[in-house]
Amino acid sequence: MYTIALLVLFGFIAAGVADIVHAVVPAIEKVPVLGKAQVFFTLVCTLLVWLADVSILGTFGIGSSAQWIDIVGSGFAVAGVYTISQGVADYLNR
C-alpha cells in the first residue's frame, strides 16, 4: 500500500519538477530527444528515484542484480503509474 502511494507521490513531484523546468528553461524543448514531454517526464522520474535511492520494483519482488536496471525500471514504473492515475482522474472528471 505504501509503495503505491510512493509511486503516485513521486509522479506528482516529477510532474511538478518537469513543469517548472520547462517554464524556466524553454530551450530544453529544442533538444531533439528531451523536447518531447513524455521522454523528459520519464527522465525526471528516473532521476527522482535515483536521488531518493528507493527500489520500487524490489518491493514487488522484481528486483535485479544490476542496480541501474532497478533504478530505470522504477523510474518507468513511476511514470507509468502517474500517467494511468491521471487518465483515471480525467475519466472520472467527465
Residue where the block lists cell 525526471? 44
Model confidence pLDDT, tens digit, residues 10-48: 999 999 999 999 889 888 888 888 778 889 999 999 999
Strands (E), the chain: none
Residue where the block lists cell 491521471? 86
Model confidence pLDDT, tens digit, residues 63-74: 777 888 889 999
Containing structural domain, residue 66: 2-92
Number of domains in the chain: 1
Helices and strands: H and E segment counts in the chain: 4, 0
